[in-house]
Amino acid sequence: MAASLFVQGLINGLNQGAIYALIALGYTMVYGIIRMINFAHGDFIMIGAYTLFYTIPLMVNAGMPAWMAVIIAIVVCALVGVLVEILAYKPVRKAGSMSALITALAMSIFLENLAMVLFGAKPHNVQAIFQLPTVRVGSVSLPLNVLLTIAIGLLIMLGMQFFVKKTNLGKAMRAVPQDKDASTLVGINVDRIITLTFAIGSGLAAVAALMYCSTYPRVTNDMGSMMGMKAFIAAVLGGIGVIPGAMLGGILVGLIEIFVKLFAPGWYEAVTYGTLIVILLVKPSGILGKNLGEKV
């Protein structure tokens, strides 16, 4: 019985972790390229979730599978991400990290309140996305949509790792934070790469919204802030700026949350934040983070 409880916890933890990891990926990519914590990033899950809420019925009525709505959600999130970057972040980019941080916090509050004005403060229920059965293996129940979520998450993270390591654009994304002048000199349009990074990060938040809504089909205007905070912790825990760090951190935070909830429900946040504190005391750059001296 204990073993089946463990397996159940593991699966739920991985599900939760995969969602956190995808969001953490967004934080880490933006941090990786312009050394800025985009505190509004969590709210892109909310934008993605609202888009799903409105587009899933359209998809279903048009006779298409509900998950196809995620394509629209990715496009909407990417566009809003680009818009936010160009209108709010780009003008303060040269003004220092504190201005950028405050702008990002303000953007988060703005997006949450804009959503409240547009969609109301009442929670909405998102229609079921995946109509998949639950399989029982021994005494463990395996909802197939949870397994699918984990698979999608892993696939996207591996895809991102490949993109950044092997493709031309991915290499440009790694080159820009290392040396902006040199990047320009070899022909990289630095502003365009930064915008692209925001588009990808925000698009990933739409996928995270899909994964989240398939487990917890509820949309509120402030759903992104708590999720965003946890994912931010995941990114820092794993080592912000490195993609495998976001994956590891996300999955760790997800597992900690689910397992602590199993045994001591009131303690999971204390344990999550406690783990962060301990890890940062031992290794300030995070588990997989590289401790790089500032290059002059």
Partner 1 sequence: MAVETKTAPVLRCQHLGIQFGGLKAVDDFNLEIGESELVGLIGPNGAGKTTTLRTITGLEKAASGSIVFDGHDLTKITPSKIITLKLAYVPEGRHIFPQMTVAENLEMGTYADKAGMAGTMEDVYARFPRLSERRRQLAGTLSGGEQQMLAVGRALMAKPKMILMDEPSMGLSPLLVQEIFDIIQEVNRAGITVLLVEQNAKMALSISNRAYVLETGTISIEGSAAELMDDPRVKKAYLGQ
**What residues make contact with partner 1 under the rule CB under 8 A?**
168, 171-172, 174-175, 178-179, 181-182, 184-190, 292, 295
Angle at 254 between CA 249 and CA 200, to 5 degrees: 60
Closer by beta carbon to partner 1, 137 or else 292: 292
For the bound state, the minimum distance from the C-beta of residue 174 to partner 1, rounded and expressed in Å, comes to 7
Q: How far is the CB of 33 from partner 1 (least distance, A)?
A: 13
Q: Which is nearer to partner 1, 165 or 218 (CB)?
A: 165
Q: Closest approach of Cβ 189 to partner 1, in Å?
A: 4
- Residue among 127 and 285 whose Cβ is closer to partner 1: 285
Nearer to partner 1 (CB atom), residue 62 or residue 292: 292
Give the residue with the Cβ less far from partner 1, 122 or 294. 294
The answer to whether the CB of 41 falls within 8 A of the CB of 20 is no
Q: Which two tokens stand for residue 43?
A: 């709210």
- The rounded distance, in Å, linking the Cα atoms of 96 and 111 is 23
Give dist(CA 134, CA 276) in Å, integer.
34
Residue 177 CB, shortest distance to partner 1, in Å, is: 9
Minimal distance in Å, beta carbon 234 to partner 1?
23
Residue with Cβ nearer partner 1 (139 or 179): 179
Backbone angles phi, psi at 239, to 5 degrees: 115, 95
Least distance from C-beta 201 to partner 1, angstroms?
A: 20
